Amino acid sequence: MIKTFRQLSAGLGLIGVCMVVLLLSDLDSRIRPGEEARREPGARRRVALVQQNTQTIFDAGVAGIIAGLAESGFHDGKELHLRKFNPMGDANLANAVAKEVTEGGYDLIISVTTPSLQAIANANRVRKVPHLFALVSIPSATGVGISDTDPLGHPPYLTGYGTRLPAEQAFRLLYEINPSVRRVGTVWNQSEPNSEVQIMDARRYCKSVGIELVEANVDNTGGVAEATDAVLSRGVDAFFICGDVTVLPAIESVLGKAARRGIPTFSIFPGDVSKGILFGVGADYFEVGVQTGKLASEILRGRNVATLPVTDYMPAKIILNDQVRSKLSEPNRWDFPDSLRNRANGIIDPKGRLIESPNAAAGTASPAGETRLASGEEEATATTTQP
């Protein structure tokens, strides 16, 4: 009995020694609460880049961030060690990712989309790692301590760009194309604060011009198809796809169901128009990403996050789709007026080719408070790491 106890004690002691060694070896990669990672001058900076899911707009934003970092002299594998995380829309995995990146000794965390901002901000309340966000419609509605009136009213370690999705502008364009529209359908998740803001904007405009907004609510992506069928069966003239992270993963299903009924869809994501959308008006998310990457480089060079305002930045872009229009049940009702064609940044022709317009105003004004840095010349590549 005594011999067994001694053997057990010796084994436990060895395990304890191993745990201490592992803990001590990991101290350099972690940050104490309230402190930033200590790096020697010229040392490679460590950045975590988190996007909530894989979507065209999110991918464009991430690509822009990497390009903006490279343009400012931060290339992955040289001045920068970049790790990318993507929980693929899974809330539990997103929380695990947030814990990992806030405790992982990073010099900076960059998050893309509202759910990623919320998960990381909640996990970062103690360690306070510098955190930069982008592709967030309404930062003040996220519940992470961002003021809706004071640009500097945010946690001192958190800042970023708000890009309010132009739902009202999308409905204005719809009405410009076809003033006879009377009923428009949409599906959205009531628990998404950004979606609620977009729907409120849409409701307000629809009421002003006599359009009925036919809505259906979903709690998860699996319910989008059924909800879409329910809305389409109610005789709507068009279908609006808002920036709802629950609906977007099922966008192909929505588009297919609407197309089979000859009903046009429109959205606030011009980058998705080639998937079968009549028109899209929204932000150039690659450009938003570029500006985010440039701001990230300033933070990596020592700029105090507390002094950086949360800024609204929405470089507008309009894409029209003549190929989709020609396949609608009543294509003549949906012809694009010349005034709109002249304003568009691009038009997909009947053969599916995107014809870009060099004369259209691209909305490329720089966000307020931006400081441009010297740009690098080499192209950045990212190391993709799933948590």
User: Is the Cβ–Cβ distance between 92 and 39 less than 8 Å?
Assistant: no
DSSP 181: -
- How far from each other are the two terminal CA atoms of the chain, in whole angstroms? 45
User: Residue 243: what pLDDT?
Assistant: 86
**Which residue, 103, 130, 150, 120, is CA-closest to 298?**
130
Distance CA 58, CA 36 (A): 28
Which sign, positive or negative, has the C-alpha torsion 255, 258, 259, 265?
negative
Q: Which residues pair with 320 in a beta bridge?
A: 279, 347
The architecture that CATH gives domain 45-164+286-314+376-384 is: 3-Layer(aba) Sandwich (3.40)
Assigned superfamily of 167-283+316-356: Response regulator (3.40.50.2300)
User: Residue 11: what pLDDT?
Assistant: 53
Give CATH 3.40.50.2300 domain extents, the chain: 45-164+286-314+376-384, 167-283+316-356
Q: pLDDT under 70 in the chain at which residues? A: 1-42, 358-387
User: Residue 204: what pLDDT?
Assistant: 97
User: Residue 19: what pLDDT?
Assistant: 41
Distance CA 164, CA 151 (A): 15
**Dihedral pair phi/psi, residue 141, rounded to 5°:** -95, 5
Q: What is the DSSP track for 219-281? A: SSGGGHHHHHHHHHTT--SEEEE---TTTGGGHHHHHHHHHHTT--EEES-GGGGGGT-SEEE
DSSP SS3 for 200? helix
96's enclosing H/E stretch is: helix 91-102
- pLDDT, tens only, 30-62: 434 334 444 555 679 999 999 998 888 899 999
